[in-house]
């Protein structure tokens, strides 16, 4: 019986690694802006032009960093990982990783030292070459947050 109990936790961990993606946006929301339901509802509908709560930057940075799309220290865009995720969800309408690199680079030039996770997200949603693909990838990869929109429900 004791041996069986030792294996029980390992069984739970292995089920977590069967390809189910964790919604980094959902997890980060619980860490930084959980009580900001209206803000989270609007973001989950891709309406990013809303009043920002005090921890909004930390929330967006957390989303980008835990998704491994932005480095923690330098705030550099991690193009390879972002491109890999966009391809993983079948959205090859972005011709190549060069477009992602270009949009990220232009965004960083425009924002300078103020670049952050929210800035990158806004740039990818605004650019006509990446907007649809990026949004669709988020809906699939981050479905817990963008598809269920649990923050938009009353209660």
The model's pLDDT over 119-143, given as tens digits with 9 standing for 90+, comes to 999 999 999 988 988 999 999 999 8
Q: Do the Cβ atoms of 86 and 94 come closer than 8 Å?
A: yes
Mean pLDDT of 69-88: 92
pTM: 0.82
Q: What is the DSSP string of 53-111?
A: PTTHHHHHHHHHHHTTSB-TTT--B-HHHHHHHHHHTT-TTS--HHHHHHHHHHHHHHH
Q: Which residue has the tokens 């030792």?
A: 6
CATH topology of domain 24-147: Recoverin; domain 1 (1.10.238)
pLDDT tens string 10-59:
333 333 333 446 789 999 999 999 999 999 999 999 998 889 999 999 99
Distance CA 65, CA 63 (A): 6
Q: Do the Cβ atoms of 39 and 48 come closer than 8 Å?
A: no
Instruction: Report the mean per-residue pLDDT for the chain.
Output: 83
């Amino acid at each position: 019986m004791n041996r069986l109990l030792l294996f029980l936790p390992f069984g739970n961990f292995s089920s977590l690694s069967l390809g189910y993606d964790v919604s980094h946006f959902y997890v980060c929301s619980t860490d930084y802006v959980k009580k900001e339901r209206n803000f989270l509802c609007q973001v989950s509908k891709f309406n990013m032009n809303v009043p920002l709560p005090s921890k909004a930057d930390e929330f967006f940075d957390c989303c980008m960093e835990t998704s491994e799309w932005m480095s923690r220290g330098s705030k550099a865009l991690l193009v390879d990982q972002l491109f890999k995720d966009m391809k993983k969800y079948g959205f090859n309408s972005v011709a190549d990783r060069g477009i992602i690199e270009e949009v990220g680079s232009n965004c960083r030039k425009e924002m300078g030292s103020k670049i952050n996770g929210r800035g990158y997200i806004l740039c990818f949603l605004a650019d006509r070459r990446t907007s649809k693909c990026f949004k669709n990838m988020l809906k699939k990869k981050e479905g817990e947050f963008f598809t269920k929109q649990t923050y938009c429900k009353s209660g």
